[in-house]
Structure formats: C-alpha cells, structure tokens
Amino acid sequence: MFPGGFSAGDEPDGSGKFIATAFRNPKISDAVNRLLKERDGLALGICNGFQALIKLGLVPYGEIVPQTADSPTLAMNNIGRHISKSVYTKVVSNLSPWLRKAELGGVYSIPASHGEGRFVANDEWLSKLLANGQIATQYVDENGNPTMVEQFNPNGSYWAIEGITSPDGRVLGKMAHSERRGTGVAKNITGEQNQLVFESGVAYFKD
C-alpha cells in the first residue's frame, strides 16, 4: 500500500516522485510486477500514493512501465493551491477487489487533502478507462451526480475522476483519504464515511 503524506513536501511531483524513484530500482520493480502478475497480489495508492502509482504506470497499465507523453497524470489543482475538505465520492465500478464491499453507486464522504490531485487524460484515454470499468470513483454533488463544480470537485479532475484502477482492478489509486476515519474523526461530517476499502482487501485474501 502506497500511503499519502508529505515525505518530500507538497512540491510539484513531491512524494509521488520520491516513491516512484525508489520503486524503479530493478529489484523492487521486478518484485512488484511479480506480486501482481504471478502472485495475484493487490496494490493500493492514496493521495501521494496515487501519484506514485501513476508515475510508475501501475495505474492505468497494471505494471511498472515508463510514462509516455499521452499517459494519464495528476496535475496541480485548478485553484493553484492545496485543498483540505471532505468530498462526496461515488463508487462507479466494482472491478477492483478494493471496492467489492463498497456499495456500487454508493456515495461516501471522504477527506481530501492535496495540492496536485487533478486527474488529467486525453479523450482517448478517458473513453478507454470508462469502457474498461477502470474509472472506480468520481467526485459528485449532494445528489450523487458527477460534476466539475469546484465546491464538489475541488481539484478540477477531468470527468470528475477521483480514482482509477489497473485493467484487472487489482491496483487502485485514489486521491481522497479512505483511511482517515474512526469513531472520533469528522463527527461533524454527514454521510457514510467507511468505503470498506481495507475490509475488501482483507476479504480478497481470505476468499
């Protein structure tokens, strides 16, 4: 699991670049690819971890590969600064084992905290991700509709995309912090906050 956090500061390509550089070591890269291709393993990246997955190619390609000029990426928020707020995210695909216990079509209130969370891709990639079921979650308004309105999609992600997966779903990258929850956390925020991401991951290995 690639966590979020400011291990290299919230600079352009900060922690994501830092993590990705380490994981491009041939021995580590080979081990990760074997985990996913030969051992039926899972990988998850949240916030800066999502940035690392994108830079490594683990999403959307499903393996560690070089990025190309047209590869999807995560860019600076439209507002040009860090945002920290709860967002509504909707599960629009259950391709990923990480979301099997989440309600398909369910809307969850999840904390978001990032400076570079705007998902960017060309039309060809967006259509491909949609057709493959690789768009896992989207930013939505209070009625559950994907939106580009800043209040609900604070970074301006294309097609309101909050999370994507690898082609087989076993790698999930998302911006909002599904791990930031607990009995005393965000008690003033309404809506379901438990996306059951980690419970789903555990169930995958038990089944």
Dihedral of the alpha carbons of 10, 21, 3, 158, in degrees to the nearest 10: 70
Residues of the chain with pLDDT under 50: none
Residue 148, pLDDT score: 98
In the Cβ-directed half-sphere of 18, how many Cα atoms lie within 13 Å? 15
Residue 17, pLDDT score: 78
| Rounded-to-integer distance, Cα 59 and Cα 47, Å | 13
Listed by start position, the domains of the chain span: 70-206
Q: Helix or strand or coil: residue 199? A: helix
155-191 pLDDT, tens digit each: 999 999 999 999 999 999 999 999 988 888 888 888 9
CB 56 within 8 A of CB 24: yes
Q: Which residues are catalytic?
A: 47, 177, 179
Positive or negative torsion for Cα 184, 190, 191, 197: negative
Nearest to 195 by CA among 74, 111, 85: 111
Whole-prediction pTM value?
A: 0.94
| Rounded-to-integer distance, Cα 152 and Cα 167, Å | 27
Q: Helix or strand or coil: residue 7? A: coil
Residue 184, pLDDT score: 81
Q: Helix or strand or coil: residue 41? A: coil
**Number of other CB atoms surrounding residue 80 within 10 Å:** 7
Residue 5, pLDDT score: 66
Q: Considering the domain 70-206 in this protein, what is its CATH number?
A: 3.40.50.880
Residue 187, pLDDT score: 84
Token pair listed for 4:
């979020």
> To which residue do tokens 């695909």 refer?
93
| Rounded-to-integer distance, Cα 51 and Cα 173, Å | 8
Provide DSSP, 161-198.
Answer: EEEEE-TTS-EEEESS-TT---TTSSTT--S-----HH
Q: How many residues does the chain have?
A: 207
Q: Which contiguous run of DSSP H or E holds residue 88?
A: strand 83-91
Residue 185, pLDDT score: 82
| Rounded-to-integer distance, Cα 50 and Cα 52, Å | 5
